[in-house]
């Protein structure tokens, strides 16, 4: 692994932007050099032109400190899988004959750019997102940064390699059968497959629209959660978008399911690392519970051996029928299986899936999450080219069932094999348990101290553990925000800004009378809340005590839930003080409310 400077994890970039040792323009030049040095790595299908990228960087650098503080992804570079739309760039789905130029960004891309993120380009993929291998593309095989002889994983191959190689801080992929998780395992990354519908699909070329999820590749669990907090949320123009209430964060003690007889297809190295991961989860409070994996494996086989393969034909049928030569032979063979099934088969498969879903439901009364190998093994490029269908199928052994059962999943690195290749595990839980998975995944990753992707960097020390921090965190939403009238109470007391964040979507914000103007944050019930913009600061116990003493009613310091499921100290308001006060929750934050008044 090569040590690349600077590290592209969010904490490092944010700190360097804040202290003035890096500008977005500097980063653009650095990334250009890195991409050039990578040579013909087959990661990118198209890139944002340098002139446009430089103009975007200049515009970001010109923003004042207050505006920057309101952009949770300020100057963070990212890539997107080339079945996701970005205005001005072709969408190919790795099929040149299918290519079109969209007039607008996909919903998720638009949200990320509005939050200050910097789009670098479109990444390579298995054609029409059909495959878990990353070798089914006319644009070449994205080079595995750990060993070019081995596959990068797919279908979101380019997205994973871009992040692992230090060419982007995060990247979007898509996930139908494991395409947002298998490449994460093969590239030592976090791969977040959210609850279905949590990130809108508008502007995405689907593989199976009823199952697809936009996924996130990132260097850390925290980074992936930050992206999810920005890209997630319902979209009125997306028929597959949906709302749901996130489950509460899990406690220190939890139960995790492991297969009674895990299958690794003879891979002793992966077997050993999975066995090592189990006591690591026990060390953070977990209790292992063995379960029968057979019904989940039967569900997994339904995805490609059943009529769901016909859903892939829905998008590509015209080109498949009229120009079959434009589709790669292996992709054509997989999608062509659609012709084997009829409507009766589809209904029978739905009935069988429902029976299996019903049979697996009791398991969730005995466990909180599953912990599975992300992939049972890994193959070389040549092995997959020689046996493309069977080996691809094996890679989905632990992933194919997840979307069919509407589960959430988080793939995390779990160590390195003796041959230098990475290994990963995946945490799986019912829909809307995304924050639960993040909490556990973060705790697990914190014990291992693995490098970030193939960059040679490690997770930087958390700011609240450094000098000037102090070890306690507090969330502020109003007059203590950066640039606001009371922020000096934090800065003069030696507090350190950790990150811009948001509360969990369970709060309402009110304009409270008094001087200086200030908001009141109140926890709402019955799903009637909003996610409110906040800043997370590290403070000493002495400073927290001073803030407590200086805080007058109706405000108080209590416990506030953040968007990633953590609970920290924060400023809250007595509910009685909101009677007759203006409800400003719909603005999403105090800074946004003030800006709207001018």
DSSP 10: H
The residue to which tokens 């800074």 are assigned = 591
The residue to which tokens 């348990």 are assigned = 433
For 424-472, what is each residue's pLDDT tens digit?
999 999 999 998 999 899 999 988 889 999 999 987 654 433 333 445 7
pLDDT higher at 358 or 472: 358
Q: Using CA atoms in the order 101, 105, 107, 111, what is the torsion angle rounded to 10 degrees? A: 160
For 377-424, what is each residue's pLDDT tens digit?
999 999 999 999 999 999 999 999 999 999 999 999 999 999 999 999
Q: Which ranges of 323-471 does DSSP label H, i.e. alpha helix?
A: 329-336, 343-360, 381-386, 388-395, 401-404, 434-448
Q: Using CA atoms in the order 522, 526, 531, 537, what is the torsion angle rounded to 10 degrees? A: 50
Clarify whether 585 is annotated catalytic.
Answer: no
Alpha-carbon distance of 379 to 151, in angstroms, equals 6
Question: In DSSP terms, which residues pair with 171 in a beta bridge?
Answer: 79, 217
Clarify whether 155 is annotated catalytic.
Answer: yes
> What average pLDDT does this structure show over 512-532?
81
Clarify whether 165 is annotated catalytic.
Answer: no
In this predicted structure, what is the pLDDT of residue 526? 58
Residues found in the chain:
598
* Domains of the chain listed by start with CATH number: 10-254+363-448 (3.90.1300.10), 464-596 (3.10.490.10)
In this predicted structure, what is the pLDDT of residue 447? 85
Question: For the ranges 9-18, 190-199, 388-397, 532-541, which has the lowest average pLDDT?
Answer: 532-541
The active-site residue out of 107, 137, 179, 482 is: 179
In this predicted structure, what is the pLDDT of residue 527? 63
The active-site residue out of 7, 107, 155, 156 is: 155
Alpha-carbon distance of 561 to 559, in angstroms, equals 7
In this predicted structure, what is the pLDDT of residue 270? 98
Query: Rounded to 5 degrees, what angle do the CA atoms 296, 221, 225 make?
Result: 90
Where are any strands of DSSP class E within 22-140?
Answer: 44-47, 77-81, 118-123
> What mean pLDDT, rounded, does the chain reach?
91
- Do 591 and 481 touch, CB atoms closer than 8 A? yes
pTM: 0.80
In this predicted structure, what is the pLDDT of residue 598? 62
In this predicted structure, what is the pLDDT of residue 467? 32
């Amino acid at each position: 692994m090569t040590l690349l400077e600077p590290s592209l994890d969010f904490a490092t970039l944010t700190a360097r932007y804040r202290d003035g040792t890096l500008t977005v323009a500097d980063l653009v030049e650095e990334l250009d050099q890195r991409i050039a040095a990578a040579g013909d790595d087959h990661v990118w299908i198209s890139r944002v032109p340098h002139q446009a990228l430089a103009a975007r960087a200049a515009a970001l650098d010109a923003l004042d400190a207050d505006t920057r503080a309101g952009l949770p992804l300020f100057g963070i570079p990212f890539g997107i899988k080339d079945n996701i739309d970005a205005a001005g760039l072709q969408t190919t789905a790795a099929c040149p004959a299918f290519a079109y130029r969209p007039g607008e960004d996909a919903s998720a891309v638009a949200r990320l750019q509005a939050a200050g993120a910097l789009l670098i380009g479109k990444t390579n993929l298995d054609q029409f997102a059909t495959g878990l291998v990353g070798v089914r593309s006319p644009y070449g095989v994205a080079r595995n940064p750990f060993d070019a002889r081995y596959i990068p994983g797919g279908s979101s191959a380019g997205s994973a390699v871009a992040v692992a190689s230090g060419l982007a801080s995060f990247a979007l992929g898509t996930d139908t059968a494991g395409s947002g998780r298998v490449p994460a395992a093969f590239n030592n990354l976090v791969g977040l497959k959210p609850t279905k519908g949590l990130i809108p699909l508008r502007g995405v070329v689907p593989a199976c629209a009823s199952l697809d999820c936009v996924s996130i590749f990132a260097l850390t669990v925290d980074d992936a959660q930050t992206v999810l907090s920005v890209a997630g949320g319902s979209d009125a123009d997306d028929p597959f978008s949906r709302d749901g209430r996130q489950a509460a964060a899990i406690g220190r003690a939890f139960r995790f399911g492991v297969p009674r007889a895990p299958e690794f297809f003879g891979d002793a190295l992966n077997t050993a690392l999975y066995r090592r991961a189990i006591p690591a989860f026990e060390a953070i409070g977990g209790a292992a519970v063995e379960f029968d994996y057979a019904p989940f494996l039967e569900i997994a086989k339904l995805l490609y051996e059943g009529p769901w393969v016909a859903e892939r034909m829905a998008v590509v049928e015209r080109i498949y029928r009229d120009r079959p030569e434009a589709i790669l032979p292996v992709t054509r063979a997989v999608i062509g299986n659609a012709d084997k099934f009829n409507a009766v088969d589809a209904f029978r498969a739905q009935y069988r899936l429902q029976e299996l879903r019903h049979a697996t439901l009791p398991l969730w009364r005995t466990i909180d999450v599953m912990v599975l190998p992300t992939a049972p093994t890994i193959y070389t490029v040549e092995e997959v080219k020689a046996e493309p269908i069977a080996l691809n199928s094996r890679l989905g052994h632990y992933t194919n069932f997840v979307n069919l059962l509407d589960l959430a999943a988080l793939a995390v690195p779990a160590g390195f094999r003796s041959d230098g290749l990475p290994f990963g595990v995946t945490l799986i839980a019912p829909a809307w348990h995304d924050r639960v998975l993040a909490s556990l995944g973060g705790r697990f990753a914190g014990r291992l101290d693995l490098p970030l992707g193939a960059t040679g960097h490690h997770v930087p020390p958390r700011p609240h553990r450094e000098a000037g921090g102090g070890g306690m965190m507090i969330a502020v939403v109003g007059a203590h925000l950066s640039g606001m009238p009371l922020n000096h109470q934090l800065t003069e007391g030696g507090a350190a800004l950790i990150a811009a964040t948001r509360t969990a979507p369970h709060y309402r914000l009110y304009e409270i009378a008094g001087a200086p103007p200030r908001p009141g944050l109140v926890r709402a019930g019955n799903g009637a809340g909003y996610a409110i913009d906040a800043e997370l600061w590290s403070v000493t116990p002495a400073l927290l005590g001073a803030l407590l003493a200086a805080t007058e009613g109706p405000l108080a310091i209590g416990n506030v839930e953040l968007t990633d499921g953590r609970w920290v100290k924060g400023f809250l308001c007595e509910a009685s003080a909101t009677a007759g006060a203006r409800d400003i929750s719909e603005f999403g934050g105090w800074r946004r409310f003030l800006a709207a008044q001018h």
